Amino acid sequence: MKIAHAPVSSSEASTPASQTPYRTAFGILGVTSASHLLNDMIQSLMIAVYPIFKVGLHLSYWQIGFVTLAYQVTASLLQPLIGRYTDRRPQPYSLPLAMLFSFCGLFALSRAHGFLALIGAAMLVGVGSSVFHPETSRVARLASGGRHGLAQSIFQVGGNAGSAIGPLLAALIVVPNGQGSIVWFTIAALLAMILLWHVSWWYEDQIARRKRSRGATHASPLNMRVVAPVIGILMVLMFSKYFYTVSITNYLIFYLIEKFGISMRAAQLHLFMFLGAVALGTLFGGPLGDRIGRKAVIWFSILGAAPFTMILPDANLTVTTVLIVLIGLIVSSAFSAILVYAQELMPGRVGMVSGLFFGFAFGLGGIGAATLGWMADHFGIAAVYRLCAWLPLLGIVAVFLPRPATAVDSTRDR
């Protein structure tokens, strides 16, 4: 059965086409969030079992970082290109295809017995993500009913919840049963394919309805002298956020084991707590941006984490546990606000903007993983956290962001 779209009342139907309101389709947002959960659970599972690959395949920290680089760069390079193409020619049925790539990547991951095979498996998962994120982000905006921050937060919280669940499942299933048990998680990819097939039906119907009511629409030309500096500021903020975040997601397990001597399972549970806090922070960040303004949320989210990141390298285990939760809550609230801010800055280019920012995030994650892995090999894992503690201070550049409405009005060539 197809998922029904949000109904439009007779009063809505009589509204001029250019101003036709659409209600928030919470059912669709829930399904896209659930599929995002499954997609990102697969990604975080791959990262969480790095210690198994490191021991089993005799890998260095640099090689572990390079695996992440292969995955992230594959995703980041393709996403803006896919987003730009689908802005012009939406591809509803690319959604289940994305999860087919992830299915193949998981299967290859469970059978990888060498460094190159591991890289190939990671790249397959990366291709899946590159197709998944631009189109599902567009679906979330279509289903928003004008509540764009809320819609992106619902969509994003699924991904962050999946990222939190991955390490927990790794600790409970993969660690006791070995690398081969990763194949069991192909069931998650199959379930996501089923969910996304239904979303594709809804998406295709929405495209047809909007074409009938509005006719062909074209993105307005942009004044790049105005847009480019603002995008540059947002990219600096993304750099600060994701370089710090990757230091936690990739190396927290190793840091806790080395510094405090706790077990791998206990370290994975700490990573689960951090990623759970990230999911919770994401859920509140978007609606808060709708209410008080996206610039305020961006400002607080990145710069506000600085006091806690500065304390972390010298904290004991108990304080470290509290700090990683606080840092996860604060830092994670920015992404939905940044993404919607950029979408408002560049109207009519939802796919390209989503692909650019998701892709840039993945690319930063990959470069950060490789760079920080090299640092950990040469200077120790503790040095990584002492250096990264300063990154949130880059949030000060948010003061140069214009108000979103002003930015949107001035981006159109006159």
Tens digits of residue pLDDT in 147-158: 888 888 888 888
What is the rounded average pLDDT of the residues 97-122?
Answer: 91
Residue 102: give the domain boundaries.
24-215+222-410
On whether residue 5 sits in a domain, the answer given is no
Report the predicted TM-score, pTM, of the whole model to 2 decimal places. Answer: 0.67
CATH assignment at residue 263:
1.20.1250.20
On whether residue 381 sits in a domain, the answer given is yes
State residue 119's pLDDT score: 92
What is the rounded average pLDDT of the residues 216-227?
Answer: 61
Share of the chain above pLDDT 70, in %: 86
On whether residue 1 sits in a domain, the answer given is no
On whether residue 14 sits in a domain, the answer given is no
Could you give the CA distance from residue 149 to residue 340 in angstroms, rounded to a whole number?
6
State residue 414's pLDDT score: 38
On whether residue 91 sits in a domain, the answer given is yes
On whether residue 262 sits in a domain, the answer given is yes
Binned at pLDDT 50, 70 and 90, residue 62 comes out as confident
Label residue 224 exposed, middle or buried (CB < 10 Å: 0-12, 13-18, 19+).
Answer: exposed
On whether residue 9 sits in a domain, the answer given is no
Check whether 336 has a pLDDT greater than 80: no
What is the rounded average pLDDT of the residues 299-323?
Answer: 90
State residue 403's pLDDT score: 67
State residue 286's pLDDT score: 75
State residue 215's pLDDT score: 52
State residue 77's pLDDT score: 75
Contact call for residues 196 and 35 (beta carbons, < 8 A): yes
The larger pLDDT score, comparing residue 294 to residue 36, is at 36
* Structural domains of the chain, count: 1
For residue 177, give Cα distances in angstroms to 30, 51, 173, 174.
32, 14, 6, 5
On whether residue 17 sits in a domain, the answer given is no
pLDDT in tens, 247-260: 888 889 889 999 99
3-state helix, strand, coil in the chain (%, to 5): 85, 0, 15
Could you give the CA distance from residue 5 to residue 28 in angstroms, rounded to a whole number?
8
Could you give the CA distance from residue 388 to residue 249 in angstroms, rounded to a whole number?
13
What is the rounded average pLDDT of the residues 315-334?
Answer: 91
For residue 9, give Cα distances in angstroms to 6, 13, 23, 135.
10, 6, 10, 27
Contact call for residues 392 and 311 (beta carbons, < 8 A): no
State residue 311's pLDDT score: 94
For residue 85, give Cα distances in angstroms to 94, 113, 211.
12, 36, 18
Could you give the CA distance from residue 142 to residue 139 in angstroms, rounded to a whole number?
5
